[in-house]
Structure 1
């Protein structure tokens, strides 16, 4: 039975969290406050269908007036070249990979392209199955895709065929894992990546999160003792 006398310890202080309320669902008849005209490109989507056919372009997803078009991965370089040369989307703002963690078409690659003159932005996506991780490079269309594709290769294991210098950016070349895949543990894989010693005369650190796994890491410095002047 709990002790309710005055000597019992007080309840811990509850921290006040300030949550941002979720926006109410918006029906098709209401205006979405996040919608922008720059991300809606019906003329460009129609031009893609005319150039490549309905079977090669689609589906198209639109949320908050923002268009995302899916194309077959085998046509991605051709689609990007058409968008650049025929539609004025000369700037590749971003490119990256996504692990959907599904049995089929597990990965996605997204391409955010911008027509600065027309002030339009379009997102193009392709799906990549885990059994065939090869994707055509778009570096011949957008030079800025070079490092973006290397990062997607390094973090997810996507292979961009035709890339001029496809090698890892952050991880060692002999690293066996892909850190942005969903099965990769958040605390890393102990022993997979030796790190520099934390002390000048120490050994290599084989576990990047030693404290989380129950061992006490060596301090990289020794604090001087505190003198009591009282």
Structure 2
């Protein structure tokens, strides 16, 4: 069997070779540490819109990792037949990364910064870069998400031609603790030219859940944005037909938001009602 020779970029690995991630084929972790790179740590500051350091950990957009995980399977005595029993996840959030990032991440960050300068977009449009679990995430100002996506798609050195997913996350604290901009929109981008994947995130206030639609740049985002609106209530301004895709058109609320009830929802065609998990009958 001959080795694959086709490649989308002459100086990159051949198609079918080892995946070109920072861990597998980029700079070794030891080399990165030798050059001064450090693993992400919670509590470091991020860049604010005016270029100054934000004094709040993570810019206040996520929870600090201070909560213990409780519940899940094996809970007894609650009457919960779902298996979750009041599941509480730890509020973990990766901290902003510092240069050098390692692997192709540094090259990508430099190419993106140069592209921003050439197109007259302030570098503060990217508020934070995080490296976590061998993946890179760019936290973006919501007003700049559309033009940043167009730049990422069209620049020859970037060429992220495909948006494979748009989804939502609600980081509202289960204990009622205040979280700034808990509603996040996550974009997964793929460069088929350079065989790279990145993630974009936009943080929103629950009271103002508006973000520009990226459908005109990535048509694949059409139904993904509809589902994110349906489940999380994010309003994608400029979407060609922002209607529900899973729930009935007249449904009230958005089922994957943290403030949505776990049970007690009437079933219209039978007149029944599903009780909350902690009030259901236990069978063991």
TM interval, short-chain normalised: 0.5 to 0.7
Unaligned runs of 5+ in 1: 1-25, 197-203, 216-230
Superimposed CA distance per residue, residues 100-152 of structure 1 (whole angstroms, 9 cap, x where no aligned partner): 11542120101111111111111111111112111110000001101110001
Q: Which moved more, 1:146-155 or 1:127-136?
A: 127-136
Deviation (angstroms), 1:161: 0.9
Q: Does the CA-based 8 Å contact 1:154-1:169 persist in structure 2?
A: yes
Deviation (angstroms), 1:210: 9.0
Q: Name the larger-Rg structure.
A: 1
Deviation (angstroms), 1:212: 7.3
1:42 to 109, 126, 140: 109
Alignment match, 2:208: 132
Superimposed CA distance per residue, residues 25-48 of structure 1 (whole angstroms, 9 cap, x where no aligned partner): x9973999xx99577733443235
Measured in 1, the distance between the counterparts of 2:234 and 2:207 equals: 11
| Distance of aligned partners of 1:122 and 1:47 in 2 relative to their CA distance in 1, 3 Å threshold | farther
Alignment match, 1:118: 194
2:199 aligned with 1:92: no
Alignment match, 1:147: 223
Q: Does the CA-based 8 Å contact 2:113-2:123 persist in structure 1?
A: no
| Distance of aligned partners of 1:210 and 1:158 in 2 relative to their CA distance in 1, 3 Å threshold | closer
SS of match in other structure, 1:69: strand
Number of residue pairs matched by the alignment: 178
Deviation (angstroms), 1:153: 0.4
Alignment match, 2:76: none
Superimposed CA distance per residue, residues 84-103 of structure 1 (whole angstroms, 9 cap, x where no aligned partner): 11121111111111101154
| Distance of aligned partners of 1:211 and 1:69 in 2 relative to their CA distance in 1, 3 Å threshold | closer
Unaligned runs of 5+ in 2: 1-28, 40-100, 173-177
Q: Aligned-pair RMSD on alpha carbons?
A: 2.9
Q: Does the CA-based 8 Å contact 1:154-1:178 persist in structure 2?
A: yes
Alignment match, 2:148: 79
Deviation (angstroms), 1:58: 2.3
SS of match in other structure, 1:82: helix
Q: Does the CA-based 8 Å contact 2:168-2:228 persist in structure 1?
A: yes
2:211 aligned with 1:207: no
1:29 to 12, 26, 33: 33
Deviation (angstroms), 1:55: 1.9
Alignment match, 1:189: 264
| Distance of aligned partners of 1:212 and 1:70 in 2 relative to their CA distance in 1, 3 Å threshold | closer
SS of match in other structure, 2:127: coil
Of structures 1 and 2, the one scoring higher in RCO (CA 8 A, sep 6+) is: 2
